[in-house]
Amino acid sequence: MADSEFPGWHGTTIIGVRKGGEVVVAGDGQVSLGQTVIKGTARKVRRLSPGGYDVVCGFAGSTADAFTLLERLEAKLEATPGQLQRAAVELAKDWRTDKYLQKLEAMLIVTDGADLYVITGAGDVLEPEHDIAAIGSGGNFALAAARGLMEAGGDAETIARSAMAIAADICVYTNGNLTVEKISK
């Protein structure tokens, strides 16, 4: 998309940290339109429980697009209970090949407490190295901070919260109003 066509929205930092048998997904609450903060308390991290199988998802990008993808992921999880990787791959295949879904502008971090994936519209299902995944405009800041904090000690939640605080201090499209979900297997 050319810069002249870009709608002017930025925002969101989502991080997933796996450590000590648990995964924490944290996301900020800021929604920006151009230079303006539209909302500071958005909830971009959600828990899905299709058929009693818990999955935590965080999303960056267009909210309506992300909700469309979350609904599709939930349907895939219902069709393949307990198989997050399979559901994620099926969602990525649909996202890549379906004419409607191809236009969706969002990214997802998903976990069932054991596996941790980033799902993109390019058809990618990525399992991150170093047990950390981060997306959104402040994602690289949070990722770098979390990588440094992993060796310093602390549990997954402490690392995720600290990395998000660092990202919020650096990225103008990220705030410190967090939603945090923890899951373990």
Give me the helix-helix angle, 63-79 and 84-97, nearest 10°: 130
Give me the helix-helix angle, 139-152 and 156-170, nearest 10°: 140
Does residue 2 belong to any structural domain of this protein? no
Of the candidates 27, 46, 37, 183, the residue with the CA atom closest to the CA atom of residue 113: 183
* φ/ψ of residue 139, rounded to 5: -60, -45
Does residue 41 belong to any structural domain of this protein? yes
Does residue 151 belong to any structural domain of this protein? yes
Per residue in 60-110, pLDDT tens? 988 888 888 899 899 999 999 899 999 999 999 888 887 777 778 888 999
Helix (H) or strand (E) holding 74: helix 63-79
User: Any residues with CB less than 8 A from the CB of 168 and at least 6 apart, and which?
Assistant: 13, 28, 138, 174, 175, 176
Does residue 3 belong to any structural domain of this protein? no
Per residue in 121-160, pLDDT tens? 788 999 999 999 999 999 999 999 999 999 898 999 999 9
Per residue in 5-59, pLDDT tens? 444 445 789 999 999 999 999 999 998 888 889 999 999 999 998 878 899 999 9
Contact assessment for residue 24 and residue 180, using Cβ atoms and an 8 Å cutoff: yes
Q: Domain of residue 169: give its range.
A: 9-184
Does residue 169 belong to any structural domain of this protein? yes
CATH number, domain of 69, equals 3.60.20.10
Residues 108-118, mean pLDDT to the nearest whole number:
97
Residue 143's alpha-carbon distances to 58, 138, 175, in angstroms, are 15, 9, 16
Of the candidates 150, 151, 167, the residue with the CA atom closest to the CA atom of residue 159: 150
Token pair of 104, please?
Answer: 């969706």
Please give the tally of structural domains in the chain.
1
Q: Which residues are catalytic?
A: 12
Does residue 174 belong to any structural domain of this protein? yes
Does residue 17 belong to any structural domain of this protein? yes
**Which amino acid, 81?**
P
